Amino acid sequence: MFYIYCPHCGEHREEEEFHAKGQAHIARPADPDSCSDKEWGEYLYFRKNPRGLHHEMWVHAAGCRKFFNVTRDTVSYEIKEVYKIGERPSVVAAGN
Amino acid sequence: MSEMIAPEKVAANKPEAVQEVARMNQLAGPAQRAESPLHHADLGTIAQKGPKNGGVTLQEHKLLGHLVIRGSQDNQAFLAGAREALGFDLPTAPLSSVQQGDRSVRWISPDEWLLIVPGEEAFDVEEQLRAAMGGHFAIVNVSGGQTVLELSGPEARSVLKKSTPYDVHDRNFPVGKVVTSVFAKTQAVIRRTGEQSWELVIRRSFADYAWLWLQDASAEYGLVVKA
């Protein structure tokens, strides 16, 4: 089991209390009416699946019910950083 | 086509509409009988006829007024209004709670608090909060949706250890701390109210499950039910 740090509760909690919510930092096209089908399709359906650092959204479902971002290594499962929505990650993969 | 399904943006033009919310006193009158979610368990009879000594004591505090208060900590009119209506500040430190007489507030998340007051005061307190608070906020009376259980006694902590993955050691869980966590296969708001006493706020639909779970988990220590 993991202990995951919740930046809202300010402490580590059992993994059981959290849910993973997929890739973070997905920007919605600013004007959906005038974007191309390709742009909209990529926004809706296409996700990264990196080997290595991945920025993900998690939710503290059984706790404060707030979302936050996690930078996780998909090879080792190690959580490198936890940061709030709206903040920039300080740990990023080279070339990103 | 998209113009037709776009929602009307009225709220931004009419700020006064924000305060027009449905409010009603949810207290059951003489025509309706109020029943706690554990009515069927008949805790009163168990308290009379059941064991009087054991390591764990369970008491339901039923039919209290539960109010969920939501608002931003950046909104001073919201925080000041809460102080004016309640007589004390909403606890802004994570995982903290305030108890003042028969009123208590639990920190649930950075913009959410659970206020519990005597059942008959719930509507008055809600009205006072609405009158005193300003800006963007929400108050919802959820009294019918949950109930409060108090676990106490020398083995109360042992029962919690079996029930939640959260660390309930003194070092991590001092008196006054409140956490929302996994409880058995459901969730509970767990607050430490004393050296040997703990308060659980549980959902109505899981109340029977929690009651059956607590009976099973405290069987080895001896469960005393208090009316």
Q: Does some domain include residue A14? A: yes
pLDDT category at A95 given cuts 50, 70, 90 is low
* Residues B226/B57, Cβ–Cβ less than 8 Å: yes
Contact A8, A59 (CB under 8 A): no
B209 CB burial (10 A radius; 0-12, 13-18, 19+): middle
Helix/strand/coil for A93: coil
Q: Do A17 and B109 touch (CB under 8 A)?
A: no
Over pLDDT 70: what percentage of chain A?
A: 98
Residue type, A32: P
* Sign of the alpha-carbon dihedral angle for A58, A62, A63, A66: positive
Is B109 strand, coil or helix? strand
**Nearest one of B70, B63, B168 to B122, comparing CA atoms:** B63
Q: In a structure prediction context, what are the per-residue pLDDT tens digits for chain B, which is 227 residues long?
A: 444 454 454 444 444 545 577 788 888 777 888 899 999 999 999 999 999 999 999 999 999 999 999 999 999 999 999 999 999 999 999 999 999 999 999 999 999 999 999 999 999 999 999 999 999 999 999 999 999 999 999 999 999 999 999 999 999 999 999 999 999 999 999 999 999 999 999 999 999 999 999 999 999 999 999 98
B166 interfaces chain A, CB cutoff of 8 Å:
yes
If you measure CA to CA, which chain B residue comes closest to A62? B181
Domain presence at residue A89: no
Q: Residue A7 maps to which CATH number?
A: 3.30.2270.10
Q: How far does B48 lie from chain A, in Å, by closest CA?
A: 36
Q: Which residue of A has its CA nearest to B186?
A: A62
Would the CB atoms of A33 and B2 count as touching at under 8 Å? Answer: yes
Q: Which of B218, B151, B152 is nearest to B188 (CA)?
A: B151
CATH 3.30.1360.120, chain B: domain bounds? 55-63+144-226
Distance, in angstroms, between B29 CA and closest chain A CA?
34
CATH of B55-63+144-226 given 3.30.1360.120, 3.40.50.150, 3.40.50.880, 3.65.10.10 = 3.30.1360.120
Residue A90 lies in a domain: no
The reply to whether A47 falls in a domain is yes
Look up residue B48 and give its two tokens: 């009379």
Answer whether B182 sits within 8 Å of A14, measured CB to CB.
yes
Q: Which of B206, B109, B68, B190 is nearest to A59 (CA)?
A: B109
- Residue tagged 């998690």 (tokens): A58
Q: What is the mean pLDDT of residues A3-13?
A: 97
For B74-102, the pLDDT digits (tens) are 999 999 999 999 999 999 999 999 999 99
Q: Do B110 and A62 touch (CB under 8 A)?
A: no
Please list the residues that pair with B194 across neighbouring strands: B197
Domain assignment present for A15: yes
Count the domains in chain A.
Answer: 1
Summarize pLDDT for B130-145 with one digit per residue, the tens.
999 999 999 999 999 9
**Interchain contact B3–A (C-beta under 8 A):** no
The closest alpha carbon to B204, from B20, B35, B46, B51, belongs to B35
Nearest residue in chain A measured CA to CA from B2? A33
Q: What's the pLDDT at B21?
A: 77
| Interchain CB distance below 8 Å, A62 and B2 | no
Specify the domain boundaries for CATH 3.30.70.1520 within chain B.
64-139
- Across the interface, whether the CB atoms of A9 and B94 are under 8 A apart is answered yes
Q: Let me know how long chain A is.
A: 96
Across chain A, which distance is largest between two alpha carbons, in Å?
A: 46
pTM of the full structure: 0.90
Contact B110 A16 (CB under 8 A): no
Residue A81 three-state SS: strand
* Interstrand relation of A53-59 and B103-109 (parallel, antiparallel or unpaired): unpaired
Closest to B187 in 3D by CA, of B203, B173, B204, B176 = B203
- DSSP letter string, A24-56: S--PPPS-GGGS-HHHHHHHHH-----SSEEEE
- Return the CATH superfamily for domain B64-139: Heterotetrameric sarcosine oxidase (3.30.70.1520)
CB contact at 8 A, B164 and B183: yes
Domain containing residue A50:
3-26+38-84
Q: Considering chain A, what is the average pLDDT of its residues?
A: 94
Element (H, E) at B64: none
First to last CA, chain B: 62
Say whether residue B132 is in contact with chain A using an 8 A CB cutoff. no
B2: chain A residues, CB-CB within 8 Å: 33
Interface A–B counts its CB contacts (< 8 A) at 39
- Chain B positions touching A14 (Cβ under 8 A) are 165-166, 181-182
Are B165 and A16 in contact (CB < 8 Å)? Answer: yes
Q: Is the Cβ of A39 closer than 8 Å to some Cβ of chain B? A: no
